[in-house]
């Protein structure tokens, strides 16, 4: 069923065998109910095919999203019709008088909800990218109603009985390996979502799911409100230390906000981090840092602490109803790690070395501050600023000097070149020929090495009001073949780069360039999919970041640097001397980067790996960090009040560790490429494409990595990549 995520079924799961069909029920349905459902399908399909947001997409390559018709006023009617049609399609499957077969049950479910899925895709993109008050109002009203629609499918006893009958007899069904995997995963997902519970348990679980969806929506709304604020600077002398490109970006942000004579530091990472790195004004650095780190934590109408406490209580209750010890056990059951202890062990294997490195970094920074007679003790708002000075002092490396070689448009072309050299893909811009949801969006037609069409790629690079912060990838349409017609992928990348002065090239940092390649790795994962059934498209949470993370490495590969890292004025490629300085400093500030991330992941796991829900998020965060020995000179990358990974949905809850888990495979894979002597090794790239990317979840991902690499991933590769000493596991069983 394509619309399962929209319908709010639980994504992470664990195989639970032996849930037999309820005694006294049959798996064949009612002829009368089946006929009624078919009649309803015909009636509602006619309506849906006339609705702008529900009807099949038209245009090139089998159809594209109708962004030119994406009006928030159309969403309620789209959801009304789409939900009713999806329910009728499910009723027809559940009440089919014929005995259940893979085709009339499991395969039929893959097509149910297709109309609603189209509307849901448009709605989700609007919510993230153009979140106007009208869009937010629709989200507040319809999130719980969409969840209720998902519950109705999960708790449809007749439907589950058919699935369970097939599951119990799966050994005799003569299914292909792909079909068997889809059957098993469908059954297990239903069980983990509550399909085998009693009616009373299902009623409570349904209420919890609906309440959670409302709380997620409200958390998002409050956080977006805080991120849409800015600190305005009115005196040019307060810009001391800021490169001209950053000054231009702050001016553009102020103009957008109606203050053309000021400079605006917007309360998002893409604006805050450059300011903290270069601003000489310590008072303003403290103000900007404090405002950014206190998003959602100001005791006002946008404070999120009470919402977080409610979410945690609901998650704990849901886990208990579903038979799991904690929310972490529930979320991790369908991951590569499988158990919270394994994730915890990996994190704690890295944590001590990272903390020790931070203490070294702070000592180096304090020495420079003392030498400058600054008369300060390093505080969190000083870290980026003095780290940059240490970088210059020790490595003769100036981040602003590096930025001058990373022109945004050039690095986009560099990412395309990487995809071509590795996988044979070519990107041709067709912007203006298909609808887009904002004028910033560019569109590219993607073809394979033989010239055949592969998919479409949408690129939305710039920050703006109403767009959530951060960077992400979205799939508008996935690959599928099960109907006999091949559906090709449509993917997108969304970034929050800041525009500079009109007509000037947009310069990005090395970290920004890596983010660009990271998100593009997600897009490639979608574009290269060869999945037959949409139900096997999604991979485990601690696998999905691996392909995106490994693609970051090509940013500093010599072929990309030579062709695309050219100075924005002279056009000269980045000189080898500068590359050497970057490489020499490759693990510089790694303590900060690792502790900033790991502290967030450890607090996430600690919060969800307990039976009694946290009631005071601020106190829990503070106490947990103290117990871990968190350096006082820095903060979590995502403090709990603004941790949207955890509280805007269930997606990364008890799963933020997954970036580190994926990085083990990422580091191991990059060593594989480097050892080959060719960063575009055709043999390794073929394995990446055919095993790591194309298969989706058609096969077990642990076994897939073994097929690709010839062995399990080497945890020590992660430690080597971060420049940490290689030590034995902290508690005997960490890593993979």
Q: Which residues are catalytic?
A: 519
Q: Among 597, 637, 641, which Cα is nearest to 618's?
A: 641
Distance, CA of 695 to CA of 181 (rounded, Å)? 12
List of E strands, 434-547: 442-447, 453-462, 472-477, 490-497
List CB contacts of 690: < 8 A, sequence separation 6 or more.
none
- For 407, the token pair is 């022109």
Contact 110, 44 (CB under 8 A): no
Q: Among 539, 462, 465, which Cα is nearest to 493's?
A: 462
Please identify which residue in the block is written with the tokens 């900060």: 592
For the chain, percent helix, then strand, then coil, each to nearest 5?
A: 60, 5, 35
* DSSP label at residue 487: B
Contact 644, 223 (CB under 8 A): yes
Distance, CA of 400 to CA of 436 (rounded, Å)? 33
Distance, CA of 100 to CA of 239 (rounded, Å)? 70
263, containing H or E segment: strand 263-266
Widest CA span in the chain: 87
Distance, CA of 58 to CA of 185 (rounded, Å)? 32
Pairing of strands 442-447, 490-497: unpaired
371 class by beta-carbon count within 10 Å (0-12 exposed, 13-18 middle, 19+ buried): exposed
The dihedral sign for the CA sequence 660, 662, 665, 669:
negative
Per-residue burial over 516-547, b if 16 or more Cβ lie within 10 Å, else e, is: bbbbbbbbbbbbbbebbbbbbbbbbbbbbbbb
Contact 73, 137 (CB under 8 A): no
Angle among Cα 668, 670, 672 to the nearest 5 degrees reads: 70
Q: What does the radius of gyration of the chain's CA atoms come to, in whole angstroms?
A: 26
330, containing H or E segment: helix 327-332
CA dist list (Å): 635 to 232, 275, 290, 536, 617: 24, 17, 11, 38, 15
């Amino acid at each position: 069923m394509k619309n399962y995520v929209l319908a709010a079924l639980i994504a992470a799961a664990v195989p639970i065998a032996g849930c037999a069909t309820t005694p006294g029920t049959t798996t064949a349905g009612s002829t009368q109910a089946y006929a009624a459902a078919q009649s309803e399908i015909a009636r509602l399909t006619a309506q849906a095919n006339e609705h702008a947001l529900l009807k099949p997409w038209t245009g090139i390559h089998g159809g594209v999203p109708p962004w030119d018709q994406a009006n928030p006023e159309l969403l309620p009617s789209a959801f009304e019709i789409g939900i009713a049609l999806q329910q009728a399609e499910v009723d027809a499957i559940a009440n089919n008088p014929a005995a259940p077969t893979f085709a009339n049950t499991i395969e039929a479910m893959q097509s149910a909800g297709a109309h609603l899925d189209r509307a849901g895709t448009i709605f989700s993109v609007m919510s993230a990218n153009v979140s106007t008050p009208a869009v937010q109002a629709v989200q507040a009203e319809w999130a719980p109603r969409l969840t209720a629609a998902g519950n109705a499918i999960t708790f449809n006893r007749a439907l589950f009985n058919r699935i369970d009958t097939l599951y119990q007899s799966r050994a005799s069904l003569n299914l292909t390996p792909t079909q068997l995997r889809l059957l098993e995963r469908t059954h297990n997902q239903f069980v983990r979502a509550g399909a085998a519970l009693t009616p009373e348990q299902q009623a409570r679980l349904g209420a919890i799911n609906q309440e959670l969806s409302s709380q997620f929506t409200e958390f998002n709304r409050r956080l977006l409100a805080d991120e849409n604020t800015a600190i305005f600077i009115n005196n040019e002398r307060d810009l001391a230390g800021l490169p001209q490109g950053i000054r231009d970006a702050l001016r553009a942000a102020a103009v957008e906000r109606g203050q053309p004579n000021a400079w605006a530091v917007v309360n998002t990472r893409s604006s805050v981090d450059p300011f903290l790195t270069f601003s000489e004004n310590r008072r303003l650095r403290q103000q900007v840092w404090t405002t950014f780190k206190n998003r959602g934590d100001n005791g006002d109408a946008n404070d999120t602490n009470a919402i977080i406490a409610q979410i945690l209580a609901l998650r704990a209750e849901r886990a208990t109803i579903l038979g799991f010890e904690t929310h972490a056990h529930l979320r991790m059951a369908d991951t590569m790690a499988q158990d919270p202890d394994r994730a915890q062990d990996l994190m704690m294997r890295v944590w001590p070395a990272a903390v020790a490195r931070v203490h070294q970094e702070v000592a180096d920074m304090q020495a420079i501050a003392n030498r400058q007679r600054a008369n300060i003790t390093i505080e969190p708002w000083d870290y980026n600023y003095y780290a940059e000075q240490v970088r210059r002092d020790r490595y003769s490396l100036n981040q602003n000097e590096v930025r001058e070689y990373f022109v945004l448009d050039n690095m986009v072309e560099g990412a395309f070149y990487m995809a071509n050299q590795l996988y044979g893909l070519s990107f041709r811009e067709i912007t203006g020929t298909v609808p887009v949801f904002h004028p910033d969006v560019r569109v590219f037609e993607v073809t394979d090495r033989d010239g055949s069409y592969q998919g479409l790629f949408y690129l939305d690079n710039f920050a703006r009001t109403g767009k959530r912060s951060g960077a992400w990838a979205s799939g508008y349409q996935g690959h599928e073949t099960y109907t006999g017609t091949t559906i090709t992928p449509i993917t997108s990348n969304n970034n929050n780069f800041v525009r500079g002065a009109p007509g000037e090239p947009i310069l990005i940092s090395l970290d920004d360039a890596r983010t660009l390649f990271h998100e593009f790795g997600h897009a490639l994962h979608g574009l290269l999919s060869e999945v037959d059934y949409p139900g096997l498209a999604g991979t485990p949470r601690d696998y999905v970041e691996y392909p995106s993370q490994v693609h970051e490495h090509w940013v500093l590969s010599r072929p990309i640097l030579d062709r695309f890292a050219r100075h924005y004025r002279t056009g000269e490629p980045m000189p080898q001397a500068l590359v050497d300085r970057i490489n020499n400093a490759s693990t510089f500030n790694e303590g900060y980067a690792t502790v900033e991330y790991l502290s967030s992941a450890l607090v996430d796991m600690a919060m969800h790996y307990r039976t009694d829900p946290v009631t005071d998020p601020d106190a829990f965060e503070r106490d947990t960090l103290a117990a871990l020995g968190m350096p006082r000179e820095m903060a979590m990358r995502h403090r709990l009040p603004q941790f949207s990974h955890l509280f805007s949905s269930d997606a990364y809850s008890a799963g933020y560790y997954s970036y580190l888990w994926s990085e083990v495979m990422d580091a191991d894979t990059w060593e594989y490429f480097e050892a080959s002597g060719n960063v575009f090794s055709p043999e390794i790239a073929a394995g990446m494409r055919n095993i790591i990317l194309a298969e989706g979840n058609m096969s077990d991902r642990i076994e897939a990595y073994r097929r690709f690499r010839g062995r399990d991933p080497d945890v020590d590769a992660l430690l080597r990549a971060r420049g940490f000493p290689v030590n034995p596991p902290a508690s005997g069983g960490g890593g993979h």
